[in-house]
Structure 1
């Protein structure tokens, strides 16, 4: 559990930016800051979301070398505010795909988040990917669901936080039923989000009206923006992502005494929303913090990630036996055969990064990770493709047939007509997360052959 030690929160140099004051959501103008007084109370809301299983950035592209549990914890230990309260929340969609590796990754991510000391975690549609029983086993996660009932689970519908500075904060969390019904989750029942919030606010007020009401939402941005209009809600923070390559508008929006903010994709940035309360007046300052190499890695999270790597390595070797037992009919000619007729193209390839792709995995001790091997070897998890460095050393690296398809038959009876396949092959690995600046027209000249 993250220890909230009393470190100074140095505002100078942090780059705080006042969010919009004009009507939602057309324009953005600066708001006037309140002058500090003894009656002024402050709350710092730190938020994450849309992690999609990203325990650590792969490092393939410096532009997208952001995020990861090591930097998230390193950041959190440096953001311990002095003079105002801290609310730490997550907007959901922490899991990605129903694979064995995905499940292992989800378990380690939940363990990491439990140690970080979140105050509330929203359930996104992807978070039920492994079922209710999986979630129940993840200890230390403060799930919050205001409009959702889950079979076998009973998370609270809201939380009340009272801080040493006297500030009282209510936190609710709602999700869009359409996302869950489309995903086929049959173990849940859901209420209309706006109705659920309006029903709960009077109950919350019975114990004394909160100074700040924070509504966490998991839905499309346009839908979440409408919930800002609910009377009694001060802050709406939204999270949801359809695909890891989605572009997310992270600009905060202000409407009167209210504000809307959006979580970043893949846990690459942490959101900070500083709320200043003076009587019935509130001001907001918002920024997104890049979790890049400037953020120090936390040693405890590094150790946890090392444990994950060990488990994935064990899984890799466990599956080798089954792969070796399958029909291993040769379908790839390999680059050594291709160069017989295509010497010039082979020379160009030999000087490219494609020809050394496997070595880059060895350098970072990732030559056992299936998520990496599929783009650093030839034909991994395809019939006749790469199995391991020992079994199929001839299929290491991104060879000709990663772009042109398995062509053993072509080497025996040459014929053309498949060059165009290469263009489409690029997009299988050159995705925004790994290659954000990829453009075929500019990259192709570097390997033209």
Structure 2
């Protein structure tokens, strides 16, 4: 029997996976159902965790100051919330593999072999959720050379209402009914037929028409909570809400834009339906907590009648923001005292609400929270161990595959790579300066994380990766780290003839920003600023004049330090 727990705005944690006599006792809080009803009751809590497209991502790049994602942290947060019978995880599809054409998309057999290892982790960890999971289907699930067979290899409780052939083949159900803490949830999904890569599952029915039929079926099946996943953009999801009234929750499966991909969008209500949009790649998940009066169990009111209340976490963040702003204003002698007094009043009101939260008045109180998945969340032990085994498997697989493999030699008359020791024979001051930079430590950061043979990482931590006469996954001795030639070009011809007509020969002195941008992308170098980062790599013995011409200002190290401070500290790579 499901437990009666605290109100929706309160935090809650129980030992992972525990129930029965060893579990922590449930917390209860007296409330009144409404002003006219004084009986003391406790509310039933149900948690829904809604993921975005994982796109084959199991962990974030550790090079950013605030890396979001990590299957171990997403599952750790979910398990920490309470008892499995009281929660449901919804995954929209496009779980297994990267999006074709993206920077992460495999382009050869080796890339797909590594992508399969990531899919193995995702598939196994989500399979472990059992009947606590409902999955959709997206085009990237079919993107590997295995095609549709991947849906059978990575069998999950999938739903898809507008793909009749997939249902006939037994690959999906049209909807699934799940008991969650006394609530009967009916979950279905549709995919936007316009998305590329879906041909193997076609033909497709109109998404709105399919959902209209399925909503009726869900209700006939006895569900009192109806959820539709729309594997498409927000415009499609909103049009479906307009055409098919009656769903309690509609999930946007494909966010547009980098910021929304990273953080999702706040919940919005449209015609009585709640629209949620989590982030992608496990960077941000949507947590919906329903706190229900016992009278609502078995006959859940429609979503239009739910009372939305803020989460405790969001209130605590707002209180911290007010404290920070007040501290700055009180140190400013020119601050408007009236404005300061207003903020102080807001701060006192917020603190009082946290100390003595008002009980919900309606039968169902809903708390929506966009949860950033970071290393500051608890880690799921099984997922953490699975990631360690994945890294070991990648290392072994790629060492065996690429042993002895080198890029082709440079064409006749073209330059090859010689390595920093050769550069230092003439440019000893520049070499000494380089030794003090972060570029000189790039490869060691991979070794420390057992990532030096990972195809997603190694290319930006060595010099001349896969270039004629350059480095490769295993064969990179003498070219590890971001050396001189990564910026100035291969130097063999320059070594043979350093000058020609009184000018440096066969070498690039000025390095354009686009060279840096090959690796310093927003996904991998979130604080990158060209001039600031140049201040780190120019100095005495290496472009002192260019460094002076840039002028004073923040350095890359300072920007990264500020980023770490803002994020609450560095995460392990």
Provide TM-score, normalisation by structure 2: 0.66
The 1:269/1:14 distance shift into structure 2, 3 A limit, reads farther
1:368 pairs, out of 434, 442, 453, with 453
Q: Which has the higher contact order (CA 8 A, sep 6+)?
A: 1
Structure 1 residues 392 and 196: alpha-carbon distance in aligned structure 2, compared to 1, 3 A threshold? same
Q: Does residue 1:228 correspond to 2:229, yes or no?
A: no
Cα deviation for residue 426 of structure 1 reads 1.7
Contact map agreement 1:69 1:301 (CA 8 A) in 2: yes
- The answer to whether the Cα contact below 8 Å between 1:48 and 1:91 also exists between their aligned partners in 2 is yes
Kept in 1, the 8 Å contact 2:7–2:45? The answer is no
Residues 285 and 398 (structure 1), Cα distance of their counterparts in 2 relative to 1, 3 Å cut:
same
Relative to 1, partners in 2 of residues 1:12 and 1:248: Cα closer, same or farther, differing over 3 Å?
A: closer
> Is 1:272 matched with 2:278?
no
Does the aligned pair in 2 maintain the 1:50–1:266 contact within 8 Å?
A: yes
Deviation at 1:419, TM superposition (A): 4.5
What is the rounded CA distance, in whole Å, between the counterparts of 1:429 and 1:399 in structure 2? 14
Q: Deviations over 1:377-433 (max 9, x none)?
A: 1123333222366x4320000112223333323333443784455411222222223
Q: Is the 8 A contact 1:132 1:153 kept in 2?
A: no
Q: CA deviation at 1:171?
A: 0.9
**What's 1:135 paired with?**
151
Unaligned runs of 5+ in 1: 16-32
CA shift for structure 1 position 346: 3.1
5 Å-filtered alignment, 1:415-430, equals 415=505, 418-419=508-509, 421-430=511-520
Please list the CA deviations of residues 167-202 of structure 1 after superposition, one character each: whole Å capped at 9, or x if unmatched. 2221111111111xx336344321221111012222
- CA–CA distance in 2 between the matches of 1:150 and 1:313? 40
The equivalent of 1:161 in structure 2 is 178
1:228–1:259 contact (8 Å) kept in structure 2: no
| Aligned pairs for 1:237-276 within 5 A | 237-240=251-254, 246=261, 249-275=264-290
Secondary structure of the equivalent of 1:309? Answer: helix
Partners in 2 of 1:319 and 1:7 — Cα distance? 55
C-alpha deviation, 1:331, in angstroms: 1.2
* 1:73–1:175 CA distance, 2 compared to 1 (3 A): same
Look up the match of 2:350: none
Say which is worse superposed, 279-288 or 408-417, in terms of deviation: 408-417
Alignment of 1:73-88 (within 5 A): 73-80=75-82, 85-88=86-89
CA distance in 2, matches of 1:337, 1:310: 34
Provide, for residues 306-349 of structure 1, a one-character-per-residue CA deviation record: whole Å limited to 9, x for no partner: 2212221122122224615x644581132223334544443332
User: What's the CA shift for 1:75?
Assistant: 1.4
TM-score when normalising by structure 1:
0.83
**Does the aligned pair in 2 maintain the 1:61–1:435 contact within 8 Å?**
yes
1:306 aligns with 388
CA distance in 2, matches of 1:9, 1:420: 63
Paired residue secondary structure (1:189): coil
1:203-214 correspondence runs (5 A): 203-208=217-222, 210-214=223-227
Residues 186/388 of structure 1: CA separation in 2 closer, same or farther (3 Å cut): closer
Aligned to 1:90: 91
Aligned residues, how many? 420
> Which of 124, 127, 146 pairs up with 1:114?
127
Give the superposed CA RMSD: 3.2
Distance 1:241 1:345, change over 3 A: farther
Q: Which residue pairs with 2:102 in the alignment? A: none
Match for 1:438 among 525, 528, 538? 528
Shift in alpha-carbon separation, 1:6–1:331, aligned structure 2, 3 A: farther
SS of residue paired to 1:266 = coil
